[in-house]
Structures are given as C-alpha cells and as structure tokens.
Amino acid sequence: MKKNWPLWEVFVRSKNGLEHRHFGSLHATDAEMALENARDVYTRRNEGVSIWVVESKHITASNPQDNGELFEPAQDKIYRHPTFYELPDELKHM
C-alpha cells in the first residue's frame, strides 16, 4: 500500500466578525483528523475560534499565465471607485 497522508489547507477565523484566513497546510487522513491536527498545529496560542479544512486537491486555482486576461481588464475601470467622481469639497455626508 504505502499511501501518503493527503495534504489539507487550513483556514482559521481568529475571532468572530473576521473572515477565515488561510493559515497553512498539514497532512491528515480524513476531515476529522485534519480538523484535530489543525487545532493542535495552528491554534496553540489561542489564534482561533473556528477552523475550516479542505483537502488541497479540491481547490481549483487560477493560472498565473492567465493573469493578463483575468485581472488586467479591471485595472482601467476606475469609474468603479468613488474617487473617480469629482465633487465640491463643501459637500458632506457622501
């Protein structure tokens, strides 16, 4: 047999109100163990109130080679940002 333990990605919410953030990865045989290992490895210093684990192979990642077509078209759409609009300084609450 000799199958290695799969890799998991760990996401931790450090306190309620904040999003889960990617903390790192680890090896585990199943989701239950991945959660326990994540608890033991990544929250030893009280870093979390909630953990997500997902097996790394289930993550679909965009390819950096496509970054041009994926992300550059958004660069010049500056009208999506509030600073694009010129308004008088006296104007309040906007």
Partner 1 sequence: MKDKNLYNYILGIADNSLILGQRLGELCGHGPNLETDIALTNISLDLFGQTRSYYQYAAKIAGNDKTEDDVAFLRIEREYRNVLLVEQPNTHFGYVIARQFLFDTFHLLLMEKLQNSGDEHLAAIAKKGIKEVSYHHRFSGDWIKRLGDGTDESHEKIQEAIDGLWRYTDELFHVTEDDALVIEAGIGVNVSQLKEEYYKQVSEILTEATLTVPENKYFAKGGKEGVHTEQMGYILAELQYMQRTYPNMNW
Partner 2 sequence: MSEKEVKNLEAIFETRIARDEKIEPKDWMPEKYRQTHIRQISQHAHSEVVGMLPEGNWITRAPSLRRKVALLAKVQDEGGHGLYLYSAAETLGISREEMYEQLHTGKAKYSSIFNYPAITWADIGAIGWLVDGAAIINQVALCNTSFGPYARAMVRICKEESFHQRQGYEILLTLCNGTPEQKAMAQDALNRWWWPSLMMFGPRDAESPHTEQSMKWKLKRKTNDELRQQFIDQTVPQAEILGITIPDPDLKWNDTLKKYDFGEIDWDEFWQVVKGHGPCNKERMNARVSAWENGAWVRDAAMAYAEKQEKKKVAKAS
- Angstrom distance (rounded) from CA 15 to CA 20: 9
**Residue 50 partner contact from partner 1, partner 2, none using kind-dependent CB cut-offs of 5 to 8 Å:** none
**Residue 93 partner contact from partner 1, partner 2, none using kind-dependent CB cut-offs of 5 to 8 Å:** none
Choice between 1 and 78, CB closer to partner 1: 1
Per-residue binder mask for partner 1 (CB under 8 A), 23-62, x = binder: ---xxxx--xx--xx--xx--x------------------
